[in-house]
Structure 1
């Protein structure tokens, strides 16, 4: 055998031994495909080979697939939707502006600008200046229990003392419930405040807005609600509950009442929607109540014909709507109430522990129209759910 033939045979022997150039599945050892080779993270594969990126990591799309739009094409809008912004109280006029509140500061740090309704839209704003008495803006109801008409077997004694309602140096209203069950004076064991605005809504259409931080604890029942101007017949002339929560359940109850509980027909006159707000005790939640009763009219007995539209909104989101029931008091005659109750049937017999429970009212105002205008109200009306029978 010639030298060249020996060399050729030797090469064929080496090919068979190392499977070089043989198809997969042939020979004594299977070839390793380049794409299945393992590399340490960050290690560059040999030139010309390709490595599958680990699951969940990004890879460059193939030509013809999505790519970054060129300048002038679509891009992510930089201005957030106005009605998804976090709730922030409106600014106080510069001549009496306090330091920013914790809630407002936190929201501004998140990059969302505060809501700033035009001055012409706000026709009334409660004055929380610390140099005036609370009684100048609100009637301070007083009394303890059912003889005064509070109902529900509640524990609190409502007072006009500064220990239960006050304006703070940074222009907030505090509605304070104080629980001290061991106090020797029964009238001092559970004290609180029940405030009623000295003015009514006064208009056939408008928007009532409050920014509230609500106390959350067992046996505590804060409320922001409305009743007709006194004297009135409850509940037939109506009741609207805008912010109402109890027993630290973090559920807000938006309600409309206009009947007793004595018959099946009466049960249809109590409507409610619940909204879960898990952080209601730690920030200013925005509550809006919008009414549009301009065409409903008034009956000969001075009661409403009904038919006006009502909507409850929380942090810019409509949560409940209903028509104004006939026989209720015209909406112009309604007042606003703020109070913190304790115990009673609503709290399922639970009493609060020793302590102080504050409802912080950051701002309270009435406007000619809701934020976004009446066109937005019309749009929201169609998608908002009606109140459900309790």
Structure 2
């Protein structure tokens, strides 16, 4: 992907979000029978530290005597780890947003509460299923957009998830963060942990805040990570944050991880809402400006989420967080 394509995509997305949160949102619903379980679903795993995480070894004390010997780390504990039990409604863990109004980006999907579009599997996975049926008179494009009831809730912590994303023309899966409503966008901030546009097999890690004018042109940070095998495998998402105080605009640090590797870092921008008041959003959009106006072919497109958890510390502890901070790249400005 060229820089111009990336720049245009970020600009289009930013304009879309700005319009989305200034326009009046409509709502609708759609009901169908629950869809079958994806054939590649895996059996549930007991809560545990993800196996993909391999902390960077500490610097040896014999060659760097100024460093103290590493202390044993307390095993991180999850403070939120939802059970995607198929006997529960999706609404048990998520706010289900609805509407077919384009979401400020000329998107084509109608977000519904239908169990055809979002459901928990017998293997304790969340599935957001975007469905395209151009032979129907109405609701040719349906999907789901879910916000967690749970907020990040703490001044510091670690969010993890394993996802398997659809990669196709006209499809835009996203796993991201926004402050709890009511909020002002983009002033209060936005953090994008995983999103892939139009089947590009690229993960776009983003941070947005402030306004969109000549003075605030640089209030965006982005790193693109090529994931050519995205259609064939699961991707591991991680996000660690450390904020000094539980107040809006307090100083702090954020680190984005992908498949256990550091991909981006960013300071918590002044003026943004305190991170403890943010929620996770998971959705699949279709068409729109970000997908260059292209629409997906008839069929279904599953965005599967498993292992969604919030932890009291990163794996390896906060000392490892500081080492990662020292090696991480700042996102690029627009």
Task: Tell me which interval the TM-score lies in, with the shorter structure as reference length.
Answer: 0.7 to 0.9
Counterpart among 145, 148, 151 of residue 101 in structure 2: 145
Aligned to 2:21: none
Counterpart among 112, 118, 122 of residue 159 in structure 1: 112
Aligned to 1:221: 172
| Counterpart mapping for 1:16-95 below 5 A | none
Query: Does the 8 A contact of 1:259 with 1:267 survive in 2?
Result: no
Unaligned stretches of 5+ residues in structure 1: 1-100, 106-111
Aligned to 2:22: none
Distance 1:114 1:386 in 2: 23
Distance 2:284 2:330 in 1: 27
Distance 2:255 2:183 in 1: 23
Larger strand share, 1 or 2: 2
Aligned to 1:199: 150
Aligned to 2:185: 234
Distance 2:301 2:215 in 1: 38
Q: CA RMSD in A?
A: 2.2
Unaligned stretches of 5+ residues in structure 2: 1-38, 44-49, 55-72
User: 1:114: how far off?
Assistant: 6.5
Q: TM-score scaled to structure 1, two decimals?
A: 0.66
User: 1:224: how far off?
Assistant: 0.2
Q: Which has the larger radius of gyration?
A: 1
Distance 1:118 1:144 in 2: 47
Aligned length in residues: 272
Deviations 1:148-170 (A, max 9, x none): xx221111100000000000111
Aligned to 1:351: 295
Runs of 4+, deviation exceeding 6 Å: 114-119
Deviations 1:182-221 (A, max 9, x none): 3211xx1110000000010000000011100010000000
Q: TM-score scaled to structure 2, two decimals?
A: 0.77
Query: Does the 8 A contact of 2:118 with 2:127 survive in 1?
Result: yes
Distance 1:118 1:152 in 2: 45
Aligned to 1:257: 208
User: 1:375: how far off?
Assistant: 1.1
Counterpart among 218, 235, 239 of residue 289 in structure 1: 239
Query: Does the 8 A contact of 1:156 with 1:342 survive in 2?
Result: yes
Distance 1:175 1:273 in 2: 25
User: 1:351: how far off?
Assistant: 0.6
